Structure 1
Amino acid sequence: MDPIELERINVVLDHDVELREKIKEQVNELDKKMRTIVGILNKIHSTRPEAMPALLDSVKPVLNSCQAVTSALVLIIPKNQFWRWKDMWSNSIRTAAFAAVLIEYLSNRTLLSLEKVSDTLGVRSEWSDRLSLPVEDYLHALITVVNELSRLAVNAVTLGNFEEPLKISAFVKDLFTGFSMLNLKNDTLRRRFDGLKYDIKKIEEVVYDVSLRNLTNISVEK
């Protein structure tokens, strides 16, 4: 090969290594925040209803601080290279999206949209060629929320919160209906969606037991 061409290739390779390290540094920072957030959110399974707002309030500032990381990250990524580097932060962004959706549900009993999740994480639409929250990552986050809520349905009863499983059941069934209307092409996403029926079954069993024992005044939707 021509020595000049070899030198040019080496320059490109060195630049890619440097860029990867810069991205990795920011992703590591995001991962630290995710570990803190997941650690706090894990406490929902042992927190009584009256203490839940304070717990959620304690995690929101950490989630909001992710905006500083996404802002720093987008400055590093070259234009039109989102798909080249996205795998480096995909899992971290999915976890952040999961946290945002779960916090919103537990706070207001509503589903946070893709756009609102992006806003929460500080991901701007004009960054789409460098950094964005893809629809598939958002859907993965929703499935993880259902996984977590199926666990919460069981643990809430243990804490004497008999109405929580019924609220979770209504929310999850509505979410499942929405998923059923999607034409999912991603194999991993499709398999995870297929697994939701086990979470729904677990929640339904809890709801049935609570209703059978007349432990709540909330009527069960047929």
Structure 2
Amino acid sequence: MDADNLEKINSILDADVEIREKIKDQVTEFDKRTRNLAGILNRIHSTRSGQMPALLETARPVLASCRESTAAIADIIPPNQFWKWRDMWTNSLRNAVFSATLMEYLQSGGLLSLEQVAGLLGINPEWQDRFALSVEDYLHGVITLVNELSRLAVNAVTLGDFEQPIKISLFVKDVFAGFSMLNLKNDLLRRRYDSLKYDLKKIEEVVYDVSLRKLAPLAKHES
């Protein structure tokens, strides 16, 4: 290689190192926010249904603060380099998707769309070539939501909320049906989708037990 070529290569490498360090700093902050959010939401397993709205109010400002992280990361990424750097923030983004969808389920019983989650996280469509919520990251977040709801189905019964497992069962069956219609090529995503069958089985066992004991009006109707 001639000197000019080596100099150009070194300049590119140095620029990449600088970008990487800047991204790393912002992802560290993003991680802190998503961990804080997950810590707050973990209390749902020991919170009675009547106290859930107050818990969600505590979580909302933390979710909103994630918009600062997405904007800061997007500001660093050069045009058309989304796929080059996305692995650095993928885990944080999936955790944020999980928390956003969990909060929506607890509030309305519904599932946020990809576009709705992106909006909540302040991800601007104009950033598409720099920072975006991919379908893959959205689906991973939804799978984590189902994982968490299977745990909640068990703990809700412990707290005396016998209708929650029935609601969770109907919701998860709907999500599972949606996933079954997708043509999943990604190996990791496919394996995680397969694991939903175990979550669904676990939830159905809780519902069966509640139905057998006739502990909830909906359970009587469901059975």
Whole-angstrom CA distance in 2 between matches of 1:80 and 1:221: 51
What SS is found at the alignment partner of 2:160? coil
Counterpart residue number, 1:31:
31
Counterpart residue number, 2:18:
18
Counterpart residue number, 2:174:
174
Deviations 1:188-221 (A, max 9, x none): 1011111111000000000000011010011454
Deviations 1:124-162 (A, max 9, x none): 111110010000111111100000000000000000010
Whole-angstrom CA distance in 1 between matches of 2:185 and 2:18: 35
1:2 Cα deviation from its structure 2 partner: 1.1
The code of the aligned residue for 1:48 comes to R
Whole-angstrom CA distance in 2 between matches of 1:94 and 1:26: 16
Q: TM-score, structure 1 length as denominator?
A: 0.98
Whole-angstrom CA distance in 1 between matches of 2:113 and 2:4: 51
Counterpart residue number, 1:163:
163
Structure 2: 5+ residue stretches without partners: none
Q: TM-score, structure 2 length as denominator?
A: 0.98
What SS is found at the alignment partner of 1:79? coil
Q: CA RMSD in A?
A: 0.9
Deviations 1:59-95 (A, max 9, x none): 0110011111111111110000000000000110000
The code of the aligned residue for 2:130 comes to R
Counterpart residue number, 2:206:
206
Deviations 1:16-38 (A, max 9, x none): 10000001111011000011001
Whole-angstrom CA distance in 2 between matches of 1:212 and 1:221: 11
Q: What is the 5 A alignment of 1:101-140?
A: 101-140=101-140
Counterpart residue number, 1:215:
215
Counterpart residue number, 2:96:
96
Structure 1: 5+ residue stretches without partners: none
Whole-angstrom CA distance in 2 between matches of 1:79 and 1:14: 18
Counterpart residue number, 1:84:
84
The code of the aligned residue for 2:131 comes to L
| Identical amino acids, percent of aligned pairs | 65
